[in-house]
Structure 1
Amino acid sequence: MDLVGAGHVRSKEWRAAVEDVPREEFIPEFFAKIDRTDGPTLWDPISAERSGAERWLRLAYEDLSHVTQLNGQISPADVLEPVDGNPTSSSTMPSLVVRMWEDLDVVDGSRVLEVGTGTGYSTALGCHRLGESNLTSVDVDPEVAGRARQALARAGYHPQLVVGDGEEGSLRGAPYDRIIATCSFRYVPQAWLQQSKLGAIILVTLSGWLGGTGLVKLTVTGDGTAEGQFLPGYVSFMPSRAHNPQPVVIPDLSEGGVSRETTLAPDVLTTYGPGQLVAQLAVPEAQHVSFGPDSDLPEHLLVQPDDSYAAFRGGPGRRIIEQGGPQRLWDQVESAVESWHSSGEPDIQSFRVTVTPHEQRIRIPSGKSWRLPVP
């Protein structure tokens, strides 16, 4: 992989870090994805012993994210054959790791909190650039953190590693000049601001339950306050475990709701971009569920824990939306997307983020804004 030629590595300090830190030390085993048309995705355990050193090393140095844990507990060493499961930890693609470190604008001596140690590869890059005494990294999973500690030690690094909830940050290395998160959040944790110096930079991926996501760069402006904007480009991370959605419960649709035609297609819920993000901001507690054409349920269903729902019905050429429950979810989505349309459909990097102790908002250039779902 040529991270310099692709423009991801922009400085000599980070180039030296990438050249000196061996990624293979941090992914001695991982899962390779096997897509299937006749069943769920499978995950093939990869290691030098099992797959051959040549294949393992080639995959380790491809610019790919490699899944290292399934279902919060299954590691590649636990299985002998491909298995299905939900990825819960991974080694992020190196181009994104380095791009984020570059965007963090560290300087010599910067004290950094990293949220999401993962395999420890990103942590090692930070140690190389800033010195291990300036790095504090926290991960919620004791087993993941333990493997990262061993890998870092093999590579010669011994930063301060903490097992705990990344949303709470860590007082051990505070106050911080920089905070970088390698998992996504629905809002910016207040603990991070309280543990930051005035003027500190926070880099975090804000995401939600409809898949809208983007990398946000914030500057701490005061006690519990920060402001900033989304950076260009698509960025997606696994959510912090506390920010995962609850299992979807399908409400009773038999009684029917209020139906009308709509000009807004359900694609806005599934197509990455600013429109999807705006739809998510309008209904932050909602989830999108798809059903096949042979199902008795609607092909597209937007559902919320309070039993509010929006279901697409009707044949070709007609878009009929049926809404039920205490809230009219599709009305809210339409209103938000129309605000984005009427302001010229601005790109995500023009979206501004403001954080205070009382609320957090995302604002588009027209001035329209939505609150993030801070509990």
Structure 2
Amino acid sequence: MTTDQAQLHQQLIDRMMIGGSLRTEPWRKAAAAVPRHEFLRGGFFRRAVGSDFTAWEAVRRDAPGWLEGCYTDESLVTQIAGTIVPDDIRGRITREPTSSSTLPSLVLRMLEDLHVEDGHKVLEVGTGTGYSTALLCARLGEENITSIEYDAEVAARARKALGRVQTFPTLVTGDGLLGHGADAPYDRVITTCGVRTVPQAWIDQTRPGGLILVTVGGWLGSSELARLTVHGDGTASGPLLGGGVNFMLARPHTPPPLGLLPDLEDGTERETTLGADVLNNWTTRFIAQLAVPGAQRLTLERDGRTEDVLVNVDTGSWAAVCQEGGGRWHVRQGGPEPLWDRVEERFGQWRHAGAPALEGLTVRVGPEGQTISW
């Protein structure tokens, strides 16, 4: 370990302690024991400057700034479009990221929020680069950690990185939404991907009284961290923790392609007191998402005006909301489900309850499904 690397590592730890994400001595020791750069030797992508699109440029291990980048408190994209890694790219790429190394302060905040105790068995869903896996092993011992990764290539790179730091937990390649029953029951489950609904398998594989820490979100792009306590009747419940935590959705939970849009003129129009600006705020977008969990959003410029459109691909329902002259909002809807009516109804309930913060919401999950309520 070079002096420069050691200094960068210590500076990152100091920043996390000052920022409050790294709060206890056992996790400080774990963070000090795991060098993040070992999990980024394949390089990472950074946003390209001066592009009209969200473009990415590769930063390889031999590039200036690579080591410093490894110890920034930032999420670093490590894979794009499902298969592309930094060594594959010369120039820029504008495809969507599919794997990343989460910013360390969020990783440590989540590990602190997991409330582990010595000897606990943990299932980690989403190995990613292996950095958080190594932290869990440093804190609890590799014999107590099972980590599952959906992408075989990502899993192989994580296995190599963990080997470089002489850490050998149980690593599984497969669908993390199914958990890993062979090592159950677990005391804790932690996920580094987002889900729309918490899988029953995680509850079934966690002992009563155990905790599941998971990011719950949806297709409108708002999500929150939830800490669920597992009960003896096969259910789990707990609060949202707040903070606007956002992870890539587990691949089986990603939205379907929009395909051909419906005819946005063929619908029923009316005035609405609820403007599309509610979709621009993290909290109110989360509330809207609860009302229309199957909807996706896009913004269109048509006839000199901006329309925010919600589309449910499965049902064919849609709603287009725009602001007319005088600042009045209008909505036009079509399909079997009036999407904006659903959003208005849920907002009315939320406001009647005093518009509670997301930290005031409770997630309940069981064999009959998932609810989020205040």
Match of 2:317 among 308, 325, 339: 308
Distance in 2 separating the partners of 1:242 and 1:118: 16
Distance in 2 separating the partners of 1:250 and 1:346: 38
Give the SS at the match of 1:16. Answer: helix
Asked if 2 retains the 8 angstrom alpha-carbon contact of 1:112 and 1:179, the reply is yes
Distance in 1 separating the partners of 2:289 and 2:307: 19
Q: Deviations over 1:345-365 (max 9, x none)?
A: 10111101111211211111x
Match of 1:33 in 2: 47
Match of 2:120 in 1: 110
Classify 1:111/1:345 alpha carbon distance in 2 versus 1 (closer, same or farther; 3 Å): same
Give the SS at the match of 2:182. Answer: coil
Classify 1:268/1:249 alpha carbon distance in 2 versus 1 (closer, same or farther; 3 Å): farther
Q: Deviations over 1:99-149 (max 9, x none)?
A: 000000000000000000000000000000000000000000010000000
Match of 2:33 in 1: 20
> What is the Cα deviation at residue 268 of structure 1?
1.5
Match of 1:368 in 2: none
TM-score (norm 2): 0.93
Distance in 2 separating the partners of 1:215 and 1:140: 21
Match of 1:268 among 278, 283, 301: 278
Gaps in structure 2 of 5+ consecutive residues:
1-11
Distance in 2 separating the partners of 1:325 and 1:232: 34
Q: Deviations over 1:310-357 (max 9, x none)?
A: 112453312111111111110110010111111111011110111121
Q: CA RMSD for the aligned pairs?
A: 1.5
TM-score (norm 1): 0.92
Distance in 2 separating the partners of 1:337 and 1:294: 29
> What is the Cα deviation at residue 13 of structure 1?
0.5
Match of 1:258 among 268, 281, 291: 268
Q: Deviations over 1:175-214 (max 9, x none)?
A: 1000000000001101111111111100000010111210
Q: Which has the higher helix share?
A: 2
Give the SS at the match of 1:307. Answer: coil
Asked if 2 retains the 8 angstrom alpha-carbon contact of 1:139 and 1:163, the reply is yes
Distance in 1 separating the partners of 2:199 and 2:249: 13
Residue type matched to 1:216 in 2?
A
Asked if 2 retains the 8 angstrom alpha-carbon contact of 1:194 and 1:223, the reply is no
- Which has the larger displacement, 252-261 or 135-144? 252-261
Classify 1:254/1:244 alpha carbon distance in 2 versus 1 (closer, same or farther; 3 Å): closer
Gaps in structure 1 of 5+ consecutive residues:
365-375
> What is the Cα deviation at residue 222 of structure 1?
1.6
Give the SS at the match of 1:269. Answer: helix
Match of 2:299 in 1: 290
The share of aligned pairs that are identical, in percent, is: 48
Q: Deviations over 1:24-71 (max 9, x none)?
A: 000111101125453x2111111231x22xx11111101000000001
Residue type matched to 1:158 in 2?
F
Distance in 1 separating the partners of 2:118 and 2:139: 8
Residue type matched to 1:177 in 2?
D
Match of 1:218 in 2: 228
Classify 1:186/1:254 alpha carbon distance in 2 versus 1 (closer, same or farther; 3 Å): closer
Match of 1:199 in 2: 209
Classify 1:143/1:294 alpha carbon distance in 2 versus 1 (closer, same or farther; 3 Å): farther
Match of 1:60 among 36, 52, 70: 70
Asked if 1 retains the 8 angstrom alpha-carbon contact of 2:240 and 2:359, the reply is yes
> What is the Cα deviation at residue 169 of structure 1?
0.4
Distance in 2 separating the partners of 1:254 and 1:227: 40
Classify 1:35/1:283 alpha carbon distance in 2 versus 1 (closer, same or farther; 3 Å): farther
Match of 1:46 among 59, 77, 88: 59
1:247 and 2:257 are equivalent in the alignment = yes
Match of 1:77 among 87, 90, 110: 87
> What is the Cα deviation at residue 247 of structure 1?
0.8
Match of 2:22 in 1: 9
Match of 1:138 in 2: 148
Match of 1:157 among 161, 167, 174: 167
Q: Deviations over 1:200-236 (max 9, x none)?
A: 1000000101112100000001242111010021100
- Which has the larger displacement, 134-143 or 223-232? 223-232
Match of 1:343 in 2: 353
Give the SS at the match of 2:109. Answer: helix
Asked if 1 retains the 8 angstrom alpha-carbon contact of 2:275 and 2:323, the reply is no
Give the SS at the match of 1:291. Answer: strand
Asked if 1 retains the 8 angstrom alpha-carbon contact of 2:269 and 2:330, the reply is yes
